[in-house]
Amino acid sequence: MLANMELDGAKIAQACGGPTPTPTPDTEHRGTPNDGSMVNSVIIYDSTGVVYSGSNANYKYSGNKIRDVLYSLAEVWHSSNPDGPRIQINVISAQEGGDIGHSSHQNVLDFDIRYVRKDSTEGPLQLPSSNYDQTRTQDLIDLFIDTGKIDIIFTCADANLSSSKINTNYSSTHKDHMHIRFTNPSGWN
């Protein structure tokens, strides 16, 4: 659905209720997720369909092309879930990337996203949980995958999600969030 969408950051941000992004040179994602950095980062602002729920406001930096995809996803997600919840981001990266105490997130391709709750509220959820909404979490995963810009998604086995992009090898560290890794935008059309 989103794979062929023309992405204009300013139009997307306005449509999602977020601030109009300041034009910047394209973000450079350098190195690997486990040993990398970035130049020309942008902040992911709370807007219609997406909210930064992390405890450290210094870890809400991303690349401009990934931001545009995320705002597009948020708009589609909100139109399907107008009563909530928004896409909840726990961690992205520091302003210049690098080590933030995680084994990855260094070149700013990785996002930690909370699982969707049945009660549609925004807040943490530890799996297994009777309040876990597997159907809407799968819908959210599918929305990301449909962009054609996702490399891999780490989840726990208890999430019971299905995709060739899903990896449950790190289940114990992903009981309260999914770890979504974008492909490097330098290779995007």
Q: What angle do CA 69, 75, 78 make, to 5 degrees?
A: 135
Average confidence (pLDDT) over 148-161: 93
The one-letter amino acid code at 81 reads: N
| Residue pair 111/104 in contact by the 8 Å Cβ criterion | no
Average confidence (pLDDT) over 71-87: 94
Average confidence (pLDDT) over 66-76: 93
Model confidence at 137: pLDDT above 50: yes
Q: Mean pLDDT in the chain?
A: 87
Q: How confident is the model at residue 1 (pLDDT cuts 50, 70, 90)?
A: very low
CATH numbers and ranges of domains, the chain: 2-187 (3.30.1380.10)
Q: How confident is the model at residue 188 (pLDDT cuts 50, 70, 90)?
A: confident
pLDDT of residue 18: 52
Q: What is the largest CA-CA distance in the chain?
A: 45
Burial category of 129 from C-beta neighbours within 10 Å (exposed 0-12, middle 13-18, buried 19 and up): middle
Model confidence at 15: pLDDT above 50: no
